[in-house]
Structure 1
Amino acid sequence: MRHLLTVAAGLAVLAVSACSAPTPPRSAANPSATPTGPATLPAPTGPHPVGTTALYLKDTSRPDPWNLDAKARELKVTLWYPTKQKDGQRAPYMTPKESELLLKGKRSAGVPDDTLSKTRTNAIKDAEPAGRKLPLVVLSPGFTNPMSTLTSLAEELASRGYMVAGIDHTYESYATTLAGGRVAECLACDSDTDTGFGTGVVAGRAADVSFVLDRLPSQWQDSDVIDRSRIAMVGQSMGGASALAAMVTDSRVRAGIDMDGTTYARIPKSGFSRPFMFLGSAEHVTGGRDTSWDRDWKLLTGWKRWLVVTGAEHSSFTDAPLLAGALGIKPAYGLLPAARAAELTRTYVAAFLDQHLKSRRQPLLDQPSSRYPEVKFCPGACGQS
């Protein structure tokens, strides 16, 4: 299982690894800079203000795969959605305790424990949803990362008229706050070198997704705004691998995107025809250490794209680059700037969803664009046959 790269070669505190490899000391990664104060996520570009709320669900049909004392699987699901409300309390990025545990888990040094809890978001807490029959996008984060690290993408999609459900896969990140304020830490982190670990994780996450799709209508009072016939899934790293796994096992998920994640679920040899897109770094290009995309590409028989972003690192598809300044991390020379990484991620993910959930053809997905020269289409431009 490959060790995943850190953003800017120095954002060790937020880079995610499929195997949670030991993080090098900051001094060995990249020189630190003076912290710039609390990070502010970029404003969404869609026409709608964004609301958000959290749900706490319990699946009593199965025990938790990581906590042997838990007879049921508990999940936190964060919802983002369009709203008409323009003013109100902005939702916290994470709690001080979550910030503390995440920074400790990522082996950050010299950063105040509550730094990440001060990040400024754009979504209004518990605002009333607006719209009808909104397409649903399920989001899944990388291993060891909480769902909050995909907040910028979630807010952008909600502003464009999507219902977004982000799943915190309990015990697979350094901190997940559950019902009643209980905080679950990362029990899975001690198992990440076990044989078959990745396969087991994505199978468990696929079960999480199916459970959330089953229960969301009855557990959220405003669920009538969701169009359950238009569902897609997007994830980063292990979350991206889980998108493919969920699609293979649950036909309700009509389309999916894997952002820079090694895949583990096996596609049927007869092929898989639902739309799917790989969006990632050069790590997955033929000749790199990860050959899973090349293997799966051959079995995708429907609409498909494989996009490589020049200059991207593994964490470029998360909020990590946007938080570097607040953490006093000096970006490495020559890598994709944080604002540009966020723009590219938002633009291409939204284009895919607009095409496959809203039936709006997106020429951006048909060929390279002079506006986004960093994005290469594979095969061909990336060397595959």
Structure 2
Amino acid sequence: MSRAIDPRHPAGRNTDGRTTGSRARRRGLAAAAGLLAVVATAAFASAPASAMPASAAPTSATPTATPTPYLPKPTGSQPVGTTKLHLKDTSRPDPWMPTVKFRELMVSLWYPAKKPGRHRAPYMTPKESELLLKDGKITSVPADVLSRTRTNAFTDARPAGRKRGLPLVVLSPGHSKPRAELTSLAEDLASRGYVVAAVDHTYENVATTFPDGRVTTCVTCEVDKTPAWWERLTHSRAADVSFVLDRLTGSRPAWKGARLIDPSRIAMAGHSVGGASAIPAMVKDSRIRAGVDVDGTTDGPVPDSGLSRPFLFLGRQSTYTPGSGEAAATWERDWKRLTGWKRWLVVTGAQHVSFNDLGLLTDQLGIDVGADIAGMRAMEITRGYVAAFLDRHLRGRPQPLLDAPSARYPEVLHCTVETKSCR
């Protein structure tokens, strides 16, 4: 079995891939190239048909067909629709490109649908796949391999729900990562009756495609990063999220199904720095009633005055056990200032990629990312606990799963900061 390192979190580096200086940045890019090479190569290897949906398995007519990567089925009862929004915030310039006088974003929406549509949504575009592979200096495989992942949502399916009946969740990906890598979580929440908006933060991702065919690349990937820079990044993302909320819940919404959104029930969740950005977003915008940080070191700290809205920390046991190091220390700092409902959960055996689609895709293709938990199992846990948190705080439904360790999920430990222990 091939072994790949998480490109943003190799040994000896900080939890969000944080380094300073060009030498460290080159090491990160080299590791990224290694991971993408393994992913691309594995995609063209045979895999057992039992590991895939029947529709993805090779047929007798095409004995050498490549298995199609796929996302797990959503666990909710409703079909899932999806669409894309192109948004422009003319009230502020782009934070990373001074010559661009407005902030431009691409957003994917997932939502419960009346019935399945005719066309499954693409996971990402062939061009985005090409640029991801090119970024890793990989030229020996078809350029569109990463765009072939099979999803469960249907493009522009008719939304289902009553007026102001659906809670809204905003998702933010890790630095350099596309919003597509949060698709598994988004599809699952939509199948449970949520509207989900995942944001591509322009110039912070290897490739973002706009409707006119333009593809922006990762300007911030070339920046020497300091703690102050990471804090600036999280505050920029907070501004992006507030703008997206304006365009989804304001008087002139950007989505035709926006009338279904309940503007009084909004939450934000994210992975890595996307999760860390939930805190400054909540501080900036009181519309966000609850927040989830999935495996992200927090650089935009909770103010001394505190934050009284519900918050969930969910991360790796190896990095985020209280008292375990610099990353956990940022959670401990903010924990003291979170004055409302809060939980600190860690997952044994998980790596950073275990909480997003990359963990799924590498695992099903036979690639070892160093995790001691299967990608499907890790996603089941992520989906289950994030949904339980949202159901409790946006729908008022009791969730015993959040109150004590569960026999169903023995990998998940509840941590006590005061004793620096987890059980």
**What TM-score do you get using the length of structure 1 for normalisation?**
0.91
Q: CA deviation digits over 1:326-361, x for unaligned, max 9?
A: 7x5521566110110110000000000000000001
Mapped pair 1:310 → 2:348: yes
SS of equivalent residue, structure 1 residue 91: coil
The answer to whether the 8 Å contact 1:234/1:257 transfers is yes
Q: In structure 2, how many angstroms separate the alpha carbons of the residues matched to 1:126 and 1:71?
A: 31
358, 370, 374: which one aligns with 1:337: 374
The answer to whether the 8 Å contact 1:35/1:329 transfers is no
- Aligned residue identity for 2:180: S
* Partner residue, 1:216: 248
The answer to whether the 8 Å contact 1:18/1:238 transfers is no
Structure number, greater radius of gyration? 2
- Aligned residue identity for 1:297: W
SS of equivalent residue, structure 1 residue 196: helix
3, 10, 13: which one aligns with 2:4: 10
Bigger CA drift: 55-64 or 259-268?
A: 259-268
* Partner residue, 2:216: 184
Q: In structure 2, how many angstroms separate the alpha carbons of the residues matched to 1:335 and 1:382?
A: 23
Which of the pair has the greater relative contact order for Cα pairs under 8 Å at 6+ separation? 1
The answer to whether the 8 Å contact 2:117/2:155 transfers is no
248 and 129 in structure 1: CA distance in 2 versus 1, 3 angstrom threshold: same
* Partner residue, 2:98: 68
293, 298, 301: which one aligns with 1:263: 298
Q: CA deviation digits over 1:259-295, x for unaligned, max 9?
A: 0001011212132110000000021221234121111
Mapped pair 1:301 → 2:339: yes
Q: In structure 2, how many angstroms separate the alpha carbons of the residues matched to 1:361 and 1:274?
A: 17
The answer to whether the 8 Å contact 1:256/1:276 transfers is yes
Bigger CA drift: 253-262 or 181-190?
A: 181-190
263 and 195 in structure 1: CA distance in 2 versus 1, 3 angstrom threshold: closer
Unmatched tracts of structure 2, length 5 or more: 10-15, 20-24, 48-66
Q: CA deviation digits over 1:302-326, x for unaligned, max 9?
A: 1000000000111111000211157
SS of equivalent residue, structure 1 residue 203: helix
57, 78, 81: which one aligns with 1:51: 81
* Partner residue, 1:361: 398
Which residues of 2 match residues 8-47 of structure 1 at below 5 A? 10=4, 12=6, 17-19=17-19, 21-24=28-31, 26=34, 34=45, 36=47, 37-47=67-77
The answer to whether the 8 Å contact 2:169/2:269 transfers is yes
Q: In structure 1, how many angstroms separate the alpha carbons of the residues matched to 2:296 and 2:137?
A: 22
Mapped pair 1:205 → 2:240: no
- Aligned residue identity for 2:4: G
Q: In structure 1, how many angstroms separate the alpha carbons of the residues matched to 2:174 and 2:361?
A: 16
Q: In structure 2, how many angstroms separate the alpha carbons of the residues matched to 1:108 and 1:280?
A: 31
122 and 334 in structure 1: CA distance in 2 versus 1, 3 angstrom threshold: closer
Unmatched tracts of structure 1, length 5 or more: 1-7
Q: CA deviation at 1:113?
A: 1.9
SS of equivalent residue, structure 1 residue 136: strand
Q: In structure 2, how many angstroms separate the alpha carbons of the residues matched to 1:35 and 1:185?
A: 32
CA-atom RMSD, angstroms? 2.5
- Aligned residue identity for 1:339: M
Q: CA deviation at 1:66?
A: 1.0
130, 134, 146: which one aligns with 1:104: 134
Q: In structure 2, how many angstroms separate the alpha carbons of the residues matched to 1:70 and 1:76?
A: 16
Q: In structure 2, how many angstroms separate the alpha carbons of the residues matched to 1:92 and 1:192?
A: 34
**What TM-score do you get using the length of structure 2 for normalisation?**
0.83
SS of equivalent residue, structure 2 residue 120: coil
